[in-house]
Amino acid sequence: MTEHQKDLIQKFAALAGLLALILVFSLTSDAFFSMGNGMTVALQVTSIAYLGIAATCVIIAGGIDLSVGSVLALSGVVAAMVVKAGYSVPVGMFLGLVVGAFCGFLNGFCVTRLKLPPFIATLGMMLVARGVALQITGAQAISGLGDAFGELGNGSLFRVVKTTANGFPDVVFPGIPYPVILMVILAVVVAIMLSRTTLGRHIYAVGSNSEAARLSGVHVTRVTMFTYVLSGTLAGLTGCVLMSRLVTAQPNEGVMYELDAIASAVIGGTSLMGGVGSISGTAIGAFVIGILRNGLNMNGVSSFIQQIIIGLVILLTVWVDQMRNRR
């Protein structure tokens, strides 16, 4: 069996697991398998997916980013504060992204220049960014941001609504939410970047063996920096989308999201040792987590039990992966 075939089998195994989940939940809950719920799941998965895509790049390059949950909160509140100060929504959100990118840059700086271990560098940023978000808002949520602020998170494309005879609106098709469209675009773009460009190849090379990459002329510092800036920027995007969905900016938003992101990458076959991973795997991983949460909710399973189950799923998938590699 070639490596390629093994790879496919691994991917299909994850995909089969996902389909099995869908099947089980469809049987146990009537409301699960519907267009409406499908869109809900997709929408719920978006945050994990954005962060998971970023985490995949960072982890393939041999790093880790623990700061994304805090960075998304900081970016979101900055965007809201700028809008509150009278600037337009695009300006606010753009500045939110810039703040995220800057946090990512600082992470990259600490890792590549100060030579801090990625775990420590981003742990520091996790505390700092959260602290700044709480400090500048006085730990208060920012609300009253106006409908325009909510458009990105709540709007959708191709929404078809008919007015029925008695005057009530009838939703023929709920539309595809903007965050979902964004997720698909991001996944495709980053997947192409990773698998088909020299930058992507260099990310794998750095994660597989950074010294060999450096001695082959790969600009290791720049590649590593890129992954952290990408991670920060996507955290910023996640913050803007999340706050937009709530039309409220919460400095306490996104706690522990970094772990969901890492979990989705790991479930999708990304190796924490670096050098191995794919966006398609991470997408499956994100949906496994999202569907588990949604399906368990619909079956009335408490959130505590949900945590236990997701924890076990992570252990199981990584163990299976280890077994596969040992052969």
Partner 1 sequence: MRNSSQDTVSRMQPAALDGKQADAGALLSLEGITKRFPSVLALDAVSFDLRRGEVHALCGENGAGKSTMMKVISGQYQPDGGRYLYKGNESRFRSTREAEAAGIAIIHQELNLIPHLTVAENIFLAREPRKGLFIHKPKLVEDARFYLNRLGVEISPDAMVKNLSVAQQQMVEIAKALSLKAEVLIMDEPTSSLTDAETEKLFKIIRELRQEGVAIVYISHRLDELAQIVDRVTVMRDGKHIATDAFADTSVDQIVARMVGRSLQDVFPPKTAVPSEDVLLSVRNLSRKNVFGPVSFDLKRGEILGFAGLMGAGRTEVARAIFGADLIDDGDIMLGGQKVTIRSPRDAIRHGIAYLSEDRKSNGLALKMNVAENITMANMQAVSGWMGHISFSAEARAAAEYVKAMDIRTPSIHKIVRLLSGGNQQKIVISKWLFRESRIMFFDEPTRGIDVGAKYAIYKLIDELSAKGIGVVVISSELPEILGMTDRVAVFHEGKLEQILNTRETSQEEIMQYASGRHPLQA
What DSSP designation does 249 have? Answer: B
Pattern 158-197, binding to partner 1, x per CB under 8 A?
----------------------------------x---xx
Residue 272 interacts with partner 1 (CB under 8 A): yes or no: no
Q: Which residue, 250 or 282, has its beta carbon nearer to partner 1?
A: 282
Using CB under 8 A, count the residues that bind partner 1: 25
We find the least distance from the C-beta atom of residue 205 to partner 1, in angstroms, to be 5
Residues 237, 93: Cα–Cα separation, whole Å: 8
Binding region for partner 1 (CB under 8 A) out of 12-20, 206-214, 241-249, 254-262: 206-214
List 48, 57, 213, 289, residue binding partner 1 (CB under 8 A) = 213
Residues 12, 127: Cα–Cα separation, whole Å: 38
Residue 214 interacts with partner 1 (CB under 8 A): yes or no: yes
- Long-range CB pairs of 148-151 (<8 Å, 24+ gap) are 148/88, 148/89, 149/80, 149/83, 149/89, 149/92, 149/243, 149/244, 149/247, 150/244, 150/245, 150/247, 151/89, 151/178, 151/244
At 157, phi and psi to the nearest 5? -105, 145
Residue 3 interacts with partner 1 (CB under 8 A): yes or no: yes
Q: Which residue, 35 or 192, has its beta carbon nearer to partner 1?
A: 192
Q: Which residue, 162 or 219, has its beta carbon nearer to partner 1?
A: 219
Q: 90 to each of 76, 134, 154, 174, how far by Cα in Å? A: 13, 23, 15, 25
Binding site for partner 1 (CB under 8 A): 2-4, 192, 196-199, 201-202, 204-205, 208-209, 211-219, 275-276
